[in-house]
Amino acid sequence: MKIAVSGKGGVGKTTLSAFLVRWFAANGNQVLAIDADPDSNLGHALGVVDAFEILPIVAMKDLIAERTESSPGGFGGFFKMNPKVDDLPDKVAVRVGDNIRLMVMGGIKKGGSGCVCPESVLLKNLAMHLMLRRDEVVIMDMEAGIEHLGRATSKAVDALIMVVEPGRRSIDTALRIRQLAGDIGIERLAVVGNKVRGDHDREFLKEHLPGFAILGFIPFDDQIIEADLNGLYPDQMATATRAAFEQIAANLNEFCRPRE
């Protein structure tokens, strides 16, 4: 199963990603957790105390130069567009729990509309391998976009989950992600509502996201927000909140079943 999670910053996508990683692992699956957000926080959300010490792949200049046959840190000249990446998950992923390994990809923080550089080429080829070739559960925590995915990987993504909160900016981000996903052929999109205070918020999200499959709603919970602020996994949460997470994971499992 290959799952990508996206949404506006601060909506709780990393918290959901961490819960799904732990849930699938607890159910006996080997899980590869991928932090594809330039502001890497998935390790902390999984409860890894020294997560900041994990070097992102994008910062491994010598490795990038070796695989793309480019100059370390360079952006000019020629480089290989199909670098070898199939061994990287086993080489650089860090075991962070039973059945869980974490790999931090990092992001290309450059000005302009895009970056065709050795770093971006390596990351996109790696994302393609993760989605097409790996045989474990892959949970990819992404930024508010889908830059690591492309047409070659779109059919392999079992679900693109957009985490939204009751608010116009979050809704607008979800609509923009749906358009981007449609451009590259991703068909299975689903929504998780977070920080939901009651029926009014549920109806707001349903009204402004017509046509979306909704996996569930996570209640507003101070314990989750506090854990997120402290970079911790929210082991303490209200019973209703944990039940909501569990139901979302079960609904996702059903949502990703092969269609007839």
**What pTM did the predictor assign?**
0.89
Residue 93 in any domain: the answer is yes
Picking from 129, 147, 145, the residue whose alpha carbon sits closest to that of residue 93 is 129
Residue 167: per-residue pLDDT: 93
Q: What is the pLDDT along the chain (260 residues), one digit of tens a residue?
A: 899 999 887 788 999 999 999 999 999 999 999 998 888 889 988 988 788 889 999 889 899 999 998 876 555 567 888 899 999 999 999 999 899 999 998 876 544 345 558 888 888 888 888 888 778 999 999 887 777 777 767 778 899 999 999 999 999 999 999 988 888 888 889 999 999 999 999 999 999 999 899 999 999 998 888 877 776 777 778 889 999 999 999 999 999 887 65
- For residue 53, the model assigns a pLDDT of 86
The pLDDT, as a whole number, for residue 113 is 40
Full 3-state SS string of the chain? CEEEEECCCCCCHHHHHHHHHHHHHHCCCCEEEEEECCCCCHHHHCCCCCHHHCCCHHHCHHHHHHHHCCCCCCCCCCCCCCCCCCCHHHHHCEEEECCEEEEECCCCCCCCCCCCCHHHHHHHHHHHHHHHCCCCEEEEEECCCCCCCCHHHHCCCCEEEEEECCCHHHHHHHHHHHHHHHHHCCCCEEEEEEEECCHHHHHHHHHHCCCCEEEEEEECCHHHHHHHHCCCCCCCCCHHHHHHHHHHHHHHHHHCCCCC
Domain count, the chain: 1
CA 246 vs. chain centroid, Å, equals 18
In a domain, 260, yes or no: no
Query: Residue 189 falls within a domain, yes or no?
Result: yes
Residues 97/128, Cβ–Cβ less than 8 Å: no
Whether 16 maps to a domain, the answer reads yes
Torsion angle of the four alpha carbons 227, 231, 235, 238, in this order, in degrees rounded to the nearest 10: 20
For residue 204, is it within any domain?
yes
Residue 131 lies in a domain: yes
Residue 108 falls inside a structural domain: yes
The domain spanning residue 47 has which CATH number?
A: 3.40.50.300
pLDDT digits (tens, 9 = 90+) for 49-60: 788 889 999 889
Any domain includes 49: yes
28: left (phi over 0), alpha (psi -120 to 50) or beta: left
Domain interval for residue 188: 2-255
Q: Are 98 and 27 in contact (CB under 8 A)?
A: no
Q: What confidence score (pLDDT) does residue 75 get?
A: 53
